[in-house]
Chain A
Amino acid sequence: MTAYSYYPGCSLHSTGREFDASVTAVFRALKIDLVELEDWNCCGASSAHSVDRDLSLALPARNLALAQAAGRDVIMPCAACYNRHRTAEHELQSTAERRRRIEATADFEYRPSVHVRALIEVLYDTVGPQALRELVVRDLRGLPVVAYYGCLLVRPPQVTGFDHAEHPTKMGELLGALGAEARPWGDATECCGGGLTLTQPNVARRLVTRLAERAREAGAQAIVTSCPLCQVNLEMRQSGRAERLPIFYISELVGLALGLEESKAWWRMHLIDPRPLLRGVGLMARQAAG
């Protein structure tokens, strides 16, 4: 049985609880063990790299040390955590001088033995859309969505690089494997302003509202993401006259398609209730309201 270390990150223990719940449920169903890293720490997010480069590398490096000790590749569902850890990994592998500097602040000796993996990367490259398709018990036919990657999963490409930086396709293919209709659109990697949502809420509101408009124009009735910062920003800052679009985590839709009973609990945690949509397209029984 395959096993990965699991790094939920701070968001999956708070605003992204349904992401945590759906990821763990899906991997259980896929018979892939997730072992949470012991005593992991915050990656520092944008605050660390705004203030100090060394700190922004040392914080994730401490987690890489834990993963190295555990001896397994580590899955990081949160796009921001993934990006910060991949940046540290990239730096550790760049020059000996940079490696020594990070090793000194994070107090460990780096060996390139285990790797940081994004959720979509594992679902696509390890599990695969075909295998996933064979496990589907509830086809998501009739659910038009757009795959939204945001920034940190795909940029900068030399750091992330598991999908195309400007025209990524893996999330869309996974959604297709579930039976959902992934609509083509041009904003899959446009920034939602998630990093500014608390300090510059008006900027975030403008960006999110535009993204939702574009998704609607593309014929989508929901947006699918793999980033808890995007997800909460997209739910919290959608404004304008149009009805707000539900924002799904990719893992939630995988869980729904695999027929996981736990999924019902996830919808209740959303700020924009996706249940009317799911009922409308016949993916949820009408009497199961509440």
Chain B
Amino acid sequence: MLIDGRVDVKPDNSLMHRVNARAEQQVELCYHCHKCTAGCPVAQEMRFGPDQVLLLVQLNQQDRLLSSRDIWLCAGCEACATRCPNEIDIARVMDALRQVALAEGVRPADTSSVKFHRLFLFLVEHLGRMNEAGLLGAHKLWTGNLLADLGSGAVMVAKGKIPLVPHVLRDRAGMRRLFSRSLHPAAADSGAEEPGP
């Protein structure tokens, strides 16, 4: 069964080149044996799956890919990279697609993941360490998903597993310097609102 109507193949190779450069991979090595998809723990939730994602990169199908939920579904387990006969680190290709999507301000299909990553890095940038209470609380507020995991969250707090007072790095200035020296996180790039700590 063919999906999605016809794909018009563009001679423009920019997506593949950008993804290859960011991921330090050669997507064109893929010969579509599907071993990655066969071993991917989340392929069944994906629309395309790892192999098709690679083909869509080869075909420069930027619009389909960058707005796809698939690129945010990758759990980063690296089973694909370990088993790929052409040594393509597909998890890194997924990362590169996320990065291109964020850099280009493409509205993500999975806003929950994007918000999670932005919050996480915001906390690390300002506190130096991750703080679950802040992360979970803010993420639930931001995604409007207040009730999910309320039970286990409460149990964790009761067991002292979610410290309400965050550990804070002493060298916070150094941490902020490190962030600004790295290419700045997408939260700033895309101009999206930054949540308060």
Binding site for B on A (CB under 8 A): 10, 13-17, 39, 41-42, 44-55, 58-59, 62, 104-107, 150-152, 155-157, 165-166, 189-191, 193-196, 198-201, 203, 207, 236, 268-269, 271
Q: Which residues of A contact B148 (CB under 8 A)?
A: 201
A55 touches B76 (CB 8 A): no
Q: What are 8 residue pairs bridging A and B, where the CB atoms are less than 8 Å apart in the complex?
A: A15-B132, A47-B120, A47-B124, A51-B121, A105-B181, A196-B42, A199-B113, A200-B110
- A150 to B78 alpha-carbon distance, docked (Å): 11
Listed stretches B1-9, B28-36, B47-55, B153-161; interface member: B153-161
Q: Does B57 contact A (CB under 8 A)?
A: no
Q: Which residues of A contact B76 (CB under 8 A)?
A: 46, 49-50, 151, 195
Chain B residue at minimal CB-CB distance from A198: B116
In the complex, what's the smallest C-beta–C-beta distance from B178 to chain A, in angstroms?
5
Listed stretches B12-20, B58-66, B162-170; interface member: B162-170
Q: Which residues of B contact A195 (CB under 8 A)?
A: 75-77
Q: Which residues of A contact B152 (CB under 8 A)?
A: 236, 271
A53 touches B22 (CB 8 A): yes
**B150-197 residues at the A interface, CB under 8 angstroms:** 152, 155-156, 159-163, 167, 169-171, 174-175, 177-179, 181-186
- A156 to B42 alpha-carbon distance, docked (Å): 18
Answer whether A107 and B175 are a contact pair too, CB < 8 Å, given A14-B161, A14-B163.
no
A55 touches B82 (CB 8 A): no
Answer whether A14 and B132 are a contact pair too, CB < 8 Å, given A41-B124, A51-B102.
yes
- A194 to B76 alpha-carbon distance, docked (Å): 10
Contact of B178 among A17, A51, A58 (CB under 8 A): A58
B82 touches A155 (CB 8 A): yes
Answer whether A269 and B161 are a contact pair too, CB < 8 Å, given A55-B185, A198-B136, A203-B73.
yes
Contact of B45 among A14, A155, A203 (CB under 8 A): A203
List 11 additional contacts besides A52-B185, A53-B22; criterion CB under 8 Å. Answer: A14-B161, A15-B162, A17-B160, A47-B116, A47-B124, A50-B99, A54-B182, A58-B182, A104-B181, A107-B178, A200-B45
| Number of chain B interface residues as a range | 35 or more
B113 touches A58 (CB 8 A): no
Q: Which residues of B contact A104 (CB under 8 A)?
A: 181
Q: Which residues of A contact B99 (CB under 8 A)?
A: 50-53
B128 touches A51 (CB 8 A): no
A193 touches B169 (CB 8 A): no
Q: Does B41 contact A (CB under 8 A)?
A: yes
Answer whether A45 and B159 are a contact pair too, CB < 8 Å, given A52-B183, A155-B81.
no
Answer whether A50 and B41 are a contact pair too, CB < 8 Å, given A55-B182, A55-B185, A155-B82.
no
Q: Which residues of B contact A47 (CB under 8 A)?
A: 116-117, 120-121, 124
Chain B residue at minimal CB-CB distance from A197: B149
B75 touches A157 (CB 8 A): no
Answer whether A201 and B149 are a contact pair too, CB < 8 Å, given A42-B124, A51-B98.
yes
- A13 to B163 alpha-carbon distance, docked (Å): 8
Chain A residue at minimal CB-CB distance from B83: A166
Chain A residue at minimal CB-CB distance from B40: A191
Q: Which residues of A contact B161 (CB under 8 A)?
A: 14-17, 269
Chain A residue at minimal CB-CB distance from B116: A199
In the complex, what's the smallest C-beta–C-beta distance from B180 to chain A, in angstroms?
10
**B107-122 residues at the A interface, CB under 8 angstroms:** 110, 112-113, 116-118, 120-121
List the 6 closest A-B pairs by CB distance, nearest first: A191-B77, A155-B78, A55-B182, A151-B77, A47-B120, A47-B117
Answer whether A41 and B75 are a contact pair too, CB < 8 Å, given A51-B117, A269-B160.
no
Q: Which residues of A contact B179 (CB under 8 A)?
A: 55
- A115 to B75 alpha-carbon distance, docked (Å): 27
Answer whether A156 and B181 are a contact pair too, CB < 8 Å, given A41-B128, A47-B120, A52-B99.
no
Q: Which residues of A contact B186 (CB under 8 A)?
A: 51-52
Chain B residue at minimal CB-CB distance from A155: B78
